[in-house]
Chains A and B, each alone.
Chain A
Amino acid sequence: MAPEAMTTEPRKDTEDLAPAVNRELAGLDALELTVRSRRNPIARLWSAAWPVLAAVGIALALWQLVVLSGWKESWVLPGPADVLPELWNSVTSGSFWGAVGLTMQRAVIGFAVSVLVGTVLGLAVSRFGVLRRAFGSLITGLQTMPSIAWFPLAILLFQLSESAILFVVVLGAAPSIANGLIAGVDYLPPILLRAGKVMGLRGLSQYRHLILPASLPAFVAGLKQGWAFAWRSLMAGELLVQIGTTSSVGRLLSDSRELSDTAAMISVMLVILVIGIVIDQLFGLADRTLRNRWGLNAAD
């Protein structure tokens, strides 16, 4: 138990009792604490991995079945046996990684700008009632707007340039990020707000020590959704806005279509899918870690 400081002062009525009671109290506390089981990390990894592997296996099998059924000719719809070697050829070539590099660079810049815009927008809207009335439903409305519908305007405004792509990516992702933050602020438990007030948190310190940390889980959920929108917008953008001879993932996709190289096309699609999933998983991991630390998960 705790050291000297505040407990050593003699208390007539409990003096003799205290050590025993303290021990009992410690015992009670120990009993009340939840026992956490620690499983072997390999076992945990396996239990997470096998359903995914099984699902991939089933998907490949279904694909192969469709091909075997002879529904389409093999140059229109090649099977896994044609696509997977093509995929392997791609990922072992330098030009492929150049294309992925450019796409990821756009994704990172677009997402970063979206986070900045979304956060400022979310904070402003959650803070000021007028802004909320003015823009609250507009932001939600923007979320439902298919990003591809922005491209004609973007191309008029920015021609076929990086800015056009960035514009659409940010319009796609920022509303989700703003909405996540707004939801976090809105659903802040009133009791915590009152506890903060009693402590003297107000204005900036209230934001720093209470409102921002409390809305973190909703914010991360908004980031996750924002990423999904950013990635979709970016792929649409790379198909529609082709800049000079630069090579991007979207460019690989449209080039292989023009060459009627379906195997290459599907392998690029698989790459797009995998990148999207991996990053979504990273956000999911951040989200779960946060919730576990805060005890927000019912099943711990």
Chain B
Amino acid sequence: MTPAPDSVAAAGTGSRHTGRGLRLDGVSKAFGSGATALLALDNVSLNVAPGEFVCLLGASGCGKSTLLNLVADLDRPSAGAIDVGGARVALMFQEPALFPWLTVTGNIELALRMRGVPRQERRQRAAQLLASVHLGGFERRRPHQLSGGMRQRVALARALALTVDDADASRGTVLLMDEPFGALDAMTRDLLHDEIERIWRERDLTVLFVTHNVREAVRLGDRVVLLSSRPGRVVEEFPVTLDRPRRIDSTEVATLSAAITDRLREEVSRHGA
């Protein structure tokens, strides 16, 4: 990865957009080799502008998690290049993946610590992050004492903790989220949509948000990118120009969702034939 460019914009007034966004260039990923090799991603090219919120939409097993793992540098692409422009990468996994030996606040504080937040500030900032996912008062619990949805909210707070960067604010942060709200009930999910949107604006994050829920994608994204299955390819992109804040049950969201769903159906039924 290339080092971060000197970000003039970050220091001055003007645009607060930091980093260079995210660029995927002809990225392919194959698992295994020879006859049993599985091509999970095929020549995926995708640009996410700094400060943009892009939703990645695709059927289960189409390679969405694989893509995020590649961007987070947890795995290497078989071909192609990925450039995050020197930005920090925070990833929220599909499962909570909390450390069971730490309390809820301990999990968040460890993430803050790794981002260079001084010790005396960690407790308070962890409390703020937990409050933002409506888990104030649960700091001293351990992950196994929470419900699945609550654990997922702790994981969200931890991912948000990784977007904090006191040491080098000019680097910018790419936040990757892998079906983060799949396990939540609708009411909690709506609240967290508001919260994630607010934090995205406030911190000027570049977000790549994976979901298989079309309405969720339209509710949140500046752009919805549709992936095909086996191998994963970019099929089509839908800009979402609806004014924010949006409501997931508004007619505008529903109309656009219907159009995207049709296209998704088409794509899925190609495999049935």
Instruction: Identify the closest chain A residue to B139 (Cβ).
Output: A2
The segment from A9-17, A61-69, A134-142, A276-284 that touches chain B is A9-17
Q: Is the CB of A29 within 8 A of B162?
A: no
Q: Are A209's CB and B144's CB within 8 A?
A: no
With A13-B247, A25-B187 in contact, is A294–B97 under 8 Å at CB? no
Stretch binding the partner chain, chosen from A51-59, A101-109, A111-119, A195-203: A195-203
Residues of chain A contacted by B127 (CB below 8 angstroms): 2-3, 5
Query: CA–CA, A210 to B110, complex, Å?
Result: 10
Query: Given A9-B198, A194-B97, A294-B101, are A25 and B131 neighbors across the interface (CB < 8 Å)?
Result: no
CB distance from A56 to the nearest CB of B (A): 36
Cβ distance A34 to chain B, nearest Cβ, rounded Å: 7
| Chain A nearest CB, measured from B205 CB (Å) | 15
B95 in contact (CB, < 8 A): yes
Known A5-B131, A295-B145; contact A198-B101, beta-carbon cutoff 8 A:
no
Alpha-carbon separation in the docked complex, A3 to B139 (Å)? 13
Which residues 222-266 of B have a CB within 8 angstroms of A? Answer: 245, 247
Please give the distance in Å from A27's CB to the nearest CB on chain B: 11
Selected contact of A195 from candidates B73, B93, B187, CB within 8 Å: B93
Q: Is the CB of B114 within 8 A of A200?
A: yes
- Max chain B CB contacts within 10 Å: which of A29, A197, A198, A294? A198
Check if A28 is an interface residue, CB within 8 A of chain B: yes
Question: Does A33 belong to the interface (CB within 8 Å)?
Answer: yes
**B132 proximal to A (CB < 8 A):** yes
Complex CA gap A150/B241 in Å reads: 79
Does residue A259 face the partner (Cβ distance < 8 Å to B)? Answer: no
Residues of A within 8 A of B111 (CB): 199
B268 sits at the interface (CB 8 A)? no
Q: Which of B66-112 contact A (CB under 8 A)?
A: 69, 72-74, 89-91, 93, 95, 97-102, 110-111
Smallest distance from the beta carbon of A148 to chain B beta carbons, Å?
39
Closest chain B residue to A297, Cβ basis? B144
CB distance from B95 to the nearest CB of A (A): 6
**A198 near B89: Cβ-Cβ < 8 Å:** yes
A198–B72 CB distance below 8 A: yes
Closest residue on chain A to residue B250 by CB atoms: A13
Q: Tally inter-chain residue pairs, CB-CB below 8 A.
A: 109
Minimum CB–CB distance for A97 against chain B, Å: 39
- How far does the alpha carbon of A205 sit from the alpha carbon of B110 in the complex, in Å? 11
In the complex, what residues of A have CB within 8 A of residue B142's CB?
A: 293-295
Contacts of A25 in B (CB 8 A): 134, 187-188, 191
A11 proximity list for chain B (CB < 8 A):
194, 198, 245
List residues of chain A with CB within 8 A of the CB of B247. Answer: 13
Q: Is the interface of A mostly helix, strand, loop or mixed?
A: helix
B97 contacts A214, CB within 8 Å?
Answer: no
| Segment 101-145 of B: residues with Cβ below 8 Å from A | 101-102, 110-111, 114-115, 127-132, 134-138, 142-145
* Segment touching A, from B17-25, B47-55, B146-154, B208-216: B146-154
CB of B223 to closest CB in A, whole Å: 21
* A201 partner, pick from B90, B101, B114, B245, beta carbons under 8 A: B114
Rounded to whole Å, the gap between the CB of B73 and the closest CB of chain A is: 8
The digit string for A280-300, where 1 denotes a CB below 8 A from any CB of B, is 000000000000011110000
CA distance A192 to B138 in the complex (A): 22
Cβ of A1 under 8 Å from chain B: yes
Give the residues in chain A near B131, CB-CB below 8 Å.
1-3, 5-7
With both beta carbons as reference points, the residue of chain B lying nearest to A1 in the complex is identified as B136
State whether A216 touches B101 (Cβ < 8 A). yes
B 157-189 binary contact with A (CB < 8 Å = 1; else 0)? 000001000000000000000000000010110
Cβ contacts A to B, 10 pairs, < 8 Å = A3-B131, A3-B136, A11-B245, A13-B245, A25-B187, A29-B150, A194-B97, A199-B162, A293-B142, A295-B143
Chain A contact residues, CB within 8 Å of chain B: 1-3, 5-7, 9, 11-14, 21-22, 24-26, 28-29, 32-34, 191-192, 194-195, 197-201, 205, 209-210, 213-214, 216, 293-296
- Top 10 closest pairs, chain A to chain B, by CB: A295-B144, A2-B136, A2-B131, A32-B147, A6-B132, A195-B97, A5-B128, A294-B100, A200-B114, A213-B101
